[in-house]
Structure 1
């Protein structure tokens, strides 16, 4: 009979104990990055962490979340300001886009009618000239 050595079970990982130190993520830097429209991936690269860490900090840390929301809100305000300026300067494409976004306009007008009968237009044969 051959004796076998039993493998010792690994101790369970302890939460909050020794481990990798928590990376510093500055709320002011998060706000600056959000003002530039940085993605979670870009922020992760900037801070040297994973995108999961960025997502977790945005979820769990109120100061980080507030900084991100403030920065992103500032970005949206700035973008809207530039769009309105472009529209006022006659940029037809932005005028159309803003009309659709803000005024509910569309490319294909809809006519509301309960009448299901086809529209018939009759001409009397005259060309309208008074000669």
Structure 2
């Protein structure tokens, strides 16, 4: 059975039943709606900034002026988008770690030194209890159950 040709749209434009953008073989240009998001430097810089702020994908989409579905499709089409977001997240993690160490070491902040000692050196708050006397247990016959 042959594939039926798409129905012609009486108002012109794209044929009915055609949902994907097509390449016009005669002009070798893309026909259809342009991409809402493109991975240009401005967009990638914004995505790195959003990653650093650890904002949700919903917030990223809203700030870029697109739907969450459009952002997710953009992420699927261009893998470097997720890389840019991850770079932003990683860079801020490094900045935070450096700032914490600066506060602890350079400013000699005792709370930060204790916290870093626990995190990096495995130090713990250990409370040792030692029994120094005899332990005796008295059971009254009245309280005992048989």
Same fold (TM over 0.5): yes
- For structure 1, which runs of at least 5 residues remain unmatched after alignment? 1-10, 112-118, 123-131
The runs of at least 4 consecutive aligned structure 1 residues that moved more than 6 Å come to: 17-20
Decide whether the 8 Å contact of 1:37 with 1:72 is kept in 2: yes
> Aligned partners of 1:57, 1:48: CA distance in 2, in Å?
13
Change (3 A) 1:40 1:92: farther
Question: Hey, what does 2:37 align to over in structure 1?
Answer: 24
Decide whether the 8 Å contact of 1:100 with 1:106 is kept in 2: yes
Quote the offset at 1:53 in angstroms.
4.2
Q: CA RMSD in A?
A: 3.2
Structure with the bigger RCO (C-alpha within 8 Å, sep 6+) is: 1
Matches within 5 A, 1:1-131: 14-15=19-20, 22-24=35-37, 26-88=43-105, 89-108=107-126, 121=132
Q: TM-score, normalised by structure 2?
A: 0.52
The CA deviation string for residues 24-46 of structure 1, in whole angstroms up to 9 with x for no partner, is 15222211222333332331221
Decide whether the 8 Å contact of 2:48 with 2:87 is kept in 1: yes
- For structure 2, which runs of at least 5 residues remain unmatched after alignment? 1-15, 23-30, 134-146
Count of paired positions:
105
Decide whether the 8 Å contact of 1:37 with 1:75 is kept in 2: no
